[in-house]
Amino acid sequence: MNIMLMLMKRAGFSLLLLSFFPILVKGQQAGSKTNPYGEMTTLAQFSGPSTGTYHPSEEERKRIAWFREAKFGMFMHWGLYSIMAGYWKGEKVTGGEWAIKMHKLPIEEYRALAKGFNPTRFDANDWVSLIKAAGMKYMVITAKHHDGFAMFNSKASPYNIMDGTPFKRDPMLELKEACHLQGIKFGLYYSHAQDWNEPDAYGNDWSFGGYKGDMDAYLEKKALPQIKEICEQYQPDILWFDTPGGMTIERAKKVSDLVRSIVPDALINSRIFSSNAPGIWDYMSSGDNDGFPQYHQVPWELCGTLNKSWAYKRWDTAFRPVNELLYHLIDAVSKNGNYLLNVGPTADGQILDPYAIRLRQIGDWLKVNGEAIYGCSGTAFGTEFGDYATVEGKKKFVASPANWRSTTKSGKVYIHVLNWPADGRLVLPPLKGKIKNAFLLSNRNKKITIEQSADGLVCHLPSKAPDALANVICINL
């Protein structure tokens, strides 16, 4: 985990959430703290359980339908911090998009980076083609991160890519058009509360003589006008808000109402506000690289990094192996969630090979196994995730080793085998419904024998795993 995130986690800056999951909140109160970046109710760590309850209105159900089918999207962190690429004046720095705050960089010097932002190698269609090749169905990109620099055409603030850089093109517009052409849903990240360029906004406590801002003034002057701009200019399918420090429910509602008034079909993620507020958001964001331990009825999304950084850092070469990335996708889908996998493009507009190669490998896996992901519901079992145990006198949810995961579709149960059993015998819990037949998605002609009894299932698999990545058994009921 990168140091910034470690610091944030230590500061209790885990995700929001869930006053509406009474069990979960009760079990979590010990971990709740106020973090230095806001007044969020924070939950130190998600440690299950919850199936929660989810009673969407007809309108909400319609709005979220594509997202529940889609399962897999690309996250992109791209901005002035990409020029730094993990360095400041030749010195290696931590933090990526957070480096400016973590190292209290002089704001004027950071702003000056804009003059050198000229991503001449940026090609929206290439990026979106890669998204497609990865088998992803949507993207979310930073229209404005905490640094306050707008990566879109903005009249509301001159601190933007059209007015402030030699590039003078609007990459958000180009990406939106490429997404429409190629059938990819287009989402925008907007840091609505935290803006280190603005003395009135949340977050910059080092440049303007200490924080004594006026949150409402910032919202009226910059955030709301810019959110209006991005909704009008790009009709995003998702508005991905983040770090709601300083957001009261009234402020969050203002943001949400504005979005709904311009793009009523757009989805809003839960980081718009620090806890549940009916109608304000559509789906939950879990902690970074850290999904939920159990199945959740409420639509949710795990966002994760491909290496250890959100924004591009030249020195971060700790790319995760493909099977780890795939595990996150499969695990999220088996728990009724989505996976938003992040890529950090370079300042000149490239998605480098270490990212692209892995993405294409996932895409190749999905070409064979996609029917066990897209449009699927979560597990047919539920006991595989773990169970409660008493740890140091406290009842806790303890995760089981993830040897397999299950996803479902009408008349079908998929078993994603993550750890191939050495003796070829995979033992599973009991399954409702009588099994007609079963086969591996990578070899549909060869039937797999499954013994079914009230005690459970015993699958007789080939002694060697056919695919080095997850192998999926399709069971027809």
Return the number of the residue (27 or 287) whose C-beta is nearest ligand JFZ: 287
Tell me, what DSSP letter sits at residue 106?
A: -
14 lies in the site for ligand JFZ, by CB under 6 A: yes
Among 281, 310, 374, 397, contact with ligand JFZ (rule: CB under 6 A): 310
Return the number of the residue (170 or 242) whose C-beta is nearest ligand JFZ: 242
The tokens for 133 are: 């090749």
347 lies in the site for ligand JFZ, by CB under 6 A: no
Return the number of the residue (335 or 416) whose C-beta is nearest ligand JFZ: 335
Amino acid at 244: P
170 lies in the site for ligand JFZ, by CB under 6 A: no
Measured distance CA(211)–CA(104) in Å, rounded: 14
Report the residue count for the chain.
477
If we measure between CA atoms, which residue out of 146, 177, 144, 182 comes closest to residue 161? 144
**Is the distance from CB of 73 to CB of 139 less than 8 angstroms?**
yes
Candidates 5-13, 115-123, 363-371, 408-416: pick the segment binding ligand JFZ (CB under 6 A).
5-13
Q: What DSSP string runs through 7-32?
A: HHHHTT------TT-HHHHHHHGGG-
Strands (DSSP E) contained in 135-291 are 138-144, 185-190, 238-241, 267-268, 284-285
Among 2, 15, 147, 384, contact with ligand JFZ (rule: CB under 6 A): 15
Among 147, 198, 242, 316, contact with ligand JFZ (rule: CB under 6 A): 242
Return the number of the residue (199 or 304) whose C-beta is nearest ligand JFZ: 304
- Shortest Cβ 15–ligand JFZ spacing (Å): 4
Return the number of the residue (291 or 461) whose C-beta is nearest ligand JFZ: 291
The tokens for 439 are: 């086969």
**Is the distance from CB of 74 to CB of 164 less than 8 angstroms?**
no
- Shortest Cβ 309–ligand JFZ spacing (Å): 10
Paired strand residues for 231: none
If we measure between CA atoms, which residue out of 407, 419, 413, 403 comes closest to residue 450? 413
238 lies in the site for ligand JFZ, by CB under 6 A: no
* 426 φ, ψ (degrees, to nearest 5): -110, 120
Return the number of the residue (310 or 327) whose C-beta is nearest ligand JFZ: 310
If we measure between CA atoms, which residue out of 49, 61, 16, 24 comes closest to residue 295? 49
Candidates 10-18, 156-164, 260-268, 291-299: pick the segment binding ligand JFZ (CB under 6 A).
10-18
- Shortest Cβ 307–ligand JFZ spacing (Å): 14
287 lies in the site for ligand JFZ, by CB under 6 A: yes
In whole angstroms, how far apart are CA 17 and each of 26, 174, 189, 269? 12, 34, 19, 12
147 lies in the site for ligand JFZ, by CB under 6 A: no
Return the number of the residue (243 or 408) whose C-beta is nearest ligand JFZ: 243
74 lies in the site for ligand JFZ, by CB under 6 A: no
97 lies in the site for ligand JFZ, by CB under 6 A: yes
The tokens for 158 are: 């001159």
The tokens for 444 are: 């549909």
**Is the distance from CB of 269 to CB of 282 less than 8 angstroms?**
yes
Among 21, 67, 98, 404, contact with ligand JFZ (rule: CB under 6 A): 98
If we measure between CA atoms, which residue out of 34, 11, 87 comes closest to residue 274? 34
If we measure between CA atoms, which residue out of 188, 206, 195 comes closest to residue 139? 188
- Shortest Cβ 46–ligand JFZ spacing (Å): 9
Return the number of the residue (229 or 290) whose C-beta is nearest ligand JFZ: 290
5 lies in the site for ligand JFZ, by CB under 6 A: yes
If we measure between CA atoms, which residue out of 467, 395, 39 comes closest to residue 252? 39
- Shortest Cβ 36–ligand JFZ spacing (Å): 13
- Shortest Cβ 287–ligand JFZ spacing (Å): 3
Among 226, 243, 256, 379, contact with ligand JFZ (rule: CB under 6 A): 243
162 lies in the site for ligand JFZ, by CB under 6 A: no
Strand 394-399 relative to strand 404-409, pairing = unpaired
229 lies in the site for ligand JFZ, by CB under 6 A: no
First to last CA, the chain: 42
154 lies in the site for ligand JFZ, by CB under 6 A: no
- Shortest Cβ 467–ligand JFZ spacing (Å): 31
Strand 238-241 relative to strand 185-190, pairing = parallel
Q: How many residues bind ligand JFZ (CB under 6 A)?
A: 13
- Shortest Cβ 45–ligand JFZ spacing (Å): 9
The tokens for 125 are: 């269609």
Which position's Cβ is nearest ligand JFZ? 287
Give the binding site for ligand JFZ (CB under 6 A). 5, 8, 13-15, 97-98, 242-243, 287-288, 303, 310
